[in-house]
Amino acid sequence: GTGGVGKTTAKILQSGFYWPTMFKDSHAFCKTCENCQKLGSISKRHMMPLNPILVIEIFDCWGIDFMGPFPPSFGFLYILVAVDYVSKWIEAIPSRTNDHKTVIKFLKENILSRFGLPLTLNV
């Protein structure tokens, strides 16, 4: 490869040649050069926009949901499951109902008391 417009023009000048449209001609040559097209710099015009990486700590972000209803087992129909998104740690309990009181009690006894207040809780 030639190394781009600047290097191509520099090589021509070092060889003792000069003409008024030399830079324009070098640019046109590099646009048609197969190696320059393959190895040239990538246009930022077609890049995906960069987004900041979110940094979260272990037990900062939990997902919680009910599973079921299942066939009754000792009176339990549901399973309440919470998953920490970072560590994939699971907390689960059987439940007779799938209501908000069960969720609040579960959060107090199994999440807040052991892992602290999460930044996010996805339901």
Model confidence pLDDT, tens digit, residues 48-94 = 777 787 788 999 999 999 999 999 999 999 999 999 999 999 999 99
What pLDDT is recorded for position 3?
Answer: 62
The torsion defined by the Cα of 111, 112, 118 and 123, in degrees rounded to 10, comes to 50
What is the Cα–Cα distance from 113 to 123, expressed in whole angstroms?
A: 19
Query: CA separation (Å) from 49 to 5, 6, 45?
Result: 28, 29, 10
The predicted structure's pLDDT at residue 11: 85
Distance CA 40, CA 20 (A): 25
Annotation: CATH topology of 61-122: Nucleotidyltransferase; domain 5 (3.30.420)
CA 71 to chain centre: 39
pLDDT digits (tens, 9 = 90+) for 2-40: 567 778 888 888 888 888 888 888 888 878 877 767 766
- Domain coordinates in residue numbering, the chain: 5-46, 61-122
pLDDT for residue 118: 95
Find residue 94's DSSP bridge partners. 79
